[in-house]
Amino acid sequence: MNGLLTVEGIGKRFGGVRAVDDCTFAVGQGTLTGLIGPNGSGKTTVFNIVTGYLKADTGRVHFAGREVTGRDPGQLYRQGLSRTFQQARVFPQLTVLENLAVAAGYTWPQLFTRRIGRADRERAAALLEEFTLVKVADLQASELSYGQRKLLEFAAVLMSSPKLVMLDEPTAGVNPVLIQTMERHIRDRQEAGVTFLIVEHDMSFVMRLCDPVIVLEAGRPIFTGPPEQAQANPAVLDAYLGS
Ligand SMILES: Nc1ncnc2c1ncn2[C@@H]1O[C@H](COP(=O)(O)OP(=O)(O)OP(=O)(O)O)[C@@H](O)[C@H]1O
Ligand SMILES: [Mg+2]
């Protein structure tokens, strides 16, 4: 199977629950691929396995031509795989600005001595402006609202130079104007060659942005193809109506 990311036969059980079950798919280089499916269909578990936060019981993951099964999240990040979380994760004790600097690869000593390059400072300032985070730039991330944390996490991904970005429900809790700003950034990055895998419940967002979409049901793909066809596919409709 070809792709920047390939997942072959991965499986994960939690007690009696088969969260992911013999799941195989590929994410083509340069695509904006959607990963959708009803609640509990295994989307976040797939993300956690691919990004090294969970060990799969079975199966293999390849990224950028290498087998990366079981690598830890830090190694994968350095290889160009970055992600966001359904429940946004940021460094709570760091300020908003420091969170962006860390994402750009600065180390703790550099942060403390404020040796942050001009280009990175400018990039961070522009992102804070666009995502209406300027007023909170010097607050600790723990003081942000849920929606602000989602935006900070998204901005942090844009500070790094990933090959593949995996977004888990990026728009949840974010206002519509800022969702449009997110969309623009995603398209700009895609044009610059970055590949995206996006989990999202907002179907109009998925329909506007993603092609192909992969639909999961009970931990395995039941459909892969253009979004318009997914909407008309009987198995996909059954999966959503049955949930
Ligand atoms: N750490 C865990 N311990 C036990 N069960 C889990 C755990 N994580 C996930 N599950 C179960 O695995 C299944 C898949 O969950 P997962 O979170 O991957 O689904 P999802 O598609 O991301 O759902 P949602 O759309 O609600 O975010 C569910 O039945 C869930 O309850
Ligand atoms: Mg989820």
Both 84 and 111 in a single domain? no
Q: Which atom of ligand 1 is nearest to the CA of 37?
A: 21
Q: Which of 14, 47, 166, 168 to mutate to test the pocket of ligand 1 (most atoms within 8 A of CB)?
A: 14
The neighbourhood of ligand 2, an ion, using CB within 5 A, equals 43-44, 86
| Nearest residue to 166 via CA among 74, 69, 44, 71 | 44
pLDDT tens for the chain, 243 residues long, are 679 999 999 999 999 999 999 999 999 999 999 999 999 999 999 999 999 999 999 999 999 999 999 999 999 998 999 999 988 899 999 999 999 998 888 777 776 667 778 888 889 999 999 999 999 999 999 999 999 999 999 999 988 889 999 999 999 989 999 999 999 999 999 999 999 999 999 999 999 999 999 999 999 999 999 999 998 999 999 998 875
Confirm whether 101 is domain-assigned.
yes
| Nearest residue to 170 via CA among 195, 152, 193, 188 | 152
Both 104 and 80 in a single domain? no
Both 17 and 85 in a single domain? yes
Confirm whether 73 is domain-assigned.
yes
Q: How far is the CA of 123 from the centre of ligand 1 (A)?
A: 36
Q: Which domain holds residue 13?
A: 5-89+162-242
For position 64, which CATH number holds? 3.40.50.300
Question: Nearest C-alpha to atom 29 of ligand 1 is from which residue?
Answer: 40
Q: How far is the CA of 218 from the centre of ligand 2 (A)?
A: 13
Geometric angle at alpha carbon 154, from 117 and 48, rounded to 5°: 115
φ and ψ at residue 86, rounded to 5 degrees = -60, -45
